[in-house]
Structure 1
Amino acid sequence: MSKAEDLERIVVAAHALTRIAAIETRNEAPAAQWRTLSILRTEGPLRLGELARESRVTQPGMTRLVTQLHEAGLVERVEDPSDSRATVVSATAAGLRALDAWLVQLSSALAPRFADLDDDDWAALSRAATILATRTSMTMEASR
Structure 2
Amino acid sequence: MPQPDLHDLHETLGDLVVASHRLTRLAARVTGSTESPAVWRTLSVLQTAGAMRLGELAAQSRVSQPTMTKLVRNLVESEWVKRIADTDDARAWQIDLTPKGAAALQDWRDQLTAALVPMFADLTEDEIAAMRSTVRIIGSRVDLSTAASAALMTTGS
TM-score grouping bracket, smaller chain normalisation: over 0.9
Structure 2: segments with no counterpart, 5+ residues = 1-6, 151-157
Equivalenced residue count is 144
Confirm or deny: 8 A CA contact 1:78 1:87 kept in the other structure: yes
TM-score by length of 1: 0.95
Alignment of 1:42-53 (within 5 A): 42-53=48-59
Q: Deviations over 1:78-121 (max 9, x none)?
A: 23132233220000010000011111101100111111111111
- Which stretches of structure 1, 4 residues or more, deviate above 4 A after TM superposition? none
Alignment of 1:4-23 (within 5 A): 4-23=10-29
The correspondence for 1:80, drawn from 72, 81, 86, is 86
Confirm or deny: 8 A CA contact 1:45 1:88 kept in the other structure: yes
Structure 1: segments with no counterpart, 5+ residues = none
Q: Which amino acid aligns with 1:11?
A: V
Equivalent-residue separation in structure 1 for 2:35 and 2:59 (angstroms): 21
Confirm or deny: 8 A CA contact 1:38 1:99 kept in the other structure: yes
The correspondence for 1:119, drawn from 120, 125, 136, is 125
Determine the structure 2 residue equivalent to 1:66: 72
Determine the structure 2 residue equivalent to 1:97: 103
CA RMSD after TM alignment: 1.1
TM-score by length of 2: 0.88
Q: Percent of counterpart pairs with the same letter?
A: 45
